[in-house]
Amino acid sequence: MPLVEPGRKAPAFTSKDQDGAAHRLRDFAGRTVVLYFYPKDDTSGCTKEACAFRDQHPEFSKMDAVVLGVSPDSEKSHRKFVDKHDLPFTLLADVAPEGGEPPICAAYGVWQEKSMYGRTYMGVVRTTYLIGPDGKVVRRWDKVKVPGHAEEVLEAVRAVPSA
């Protein structure tokens, strides 16, 4: 599926977090949601990104914005990642069904062909969506470069009209 364009309704989802609790996008209706997709728990870039969102989390909370990280890792992997880096926000386990694609990643268009060392494979392209209180995509960051990203997202959240 293609990336979701700003102005479009954000695709609905249900997924379990690092504690096995189910979350649906509609649970956050009326709030601003930062939905960031990352390839893998506890890898260099993903750890830096998660820790940057962790460090900015008090500012997101002041604006009643929700930060949700999404990767194809399991609930157990997410729990270890959260504990190791003291992450104060929810990580959603978007585990692919047998022979399929991770459903949230696919719905948001971030499950794409990638290449490394001449080998192509399917994986998560680091992408962040800012979803407004009305459930529509306000902004999208493609092929995210980690340094300064959490701060840029925070500035964008400040500009979102509240519900």
Residue 24 buriedness (CB in 10 A; 0-12 / 13-18 / 19+) = exposed
d(Cα 71, Cα 79) in Å, to the nearest integer?
A: 13
* Residue predicted with more confidence, 36 or 99: 36
Q: Is 150 helix (H, G, I), strand (E, B) or coil?
A: helix
Query: What residues contact 87, with CB distance under 8 A and at least 6 apart?
Result: 50, 51, 53, 54, 69, 81
pLDDT exceeds cutoff 70 at 163: no
pLDDT exceeds cutoff 80 at 162: no
Whether the Cβ atoms of residue 32 and residue 132 lie closer than 8 Å to each other: yes
pLDDT exceeds cutoff 70 at 63: yes
Q: In the chain, what are the domain boundaries?
A: 14-158
Residue 73 buriedness (CB in 10 A; 0-12 / 13-18 / 19+) = buried
d(Cα 72, Cα 92) in Å, to the nearest integer?
A: 8
When the pLDDT of each residue in the chain is averaged and rounded to a whole number, the result is 95
Percent of the chain with pLDDT over 90: 93
- pLDDT confidence of residue 31: 96
d(Cα 40, Cα 149) in Å, to the nearest integer?
A: 17
What is the arithmetic mean of pLDDT over 46-52? Answer: 97
What the block records as the tokens of 10 is 């954000």
d(Cα 97, Cα 99) in Å, to the nearest integer?
A: 6
For domain 14-158, the CATH superfamily is Glutaredoxin (3.40.30.10)
pLDDT exceeds cutoff 90 at 1: no
Active site residues: 46
Confidence of residue 115 (pLDDT cuts 50, 70, 90): confident
pTM, 2 dp: 0.95
pLDDT digits (tens, 9 = 90+) for 65-98: 999 999 999 999 999 999 999 999 999 999 999 9
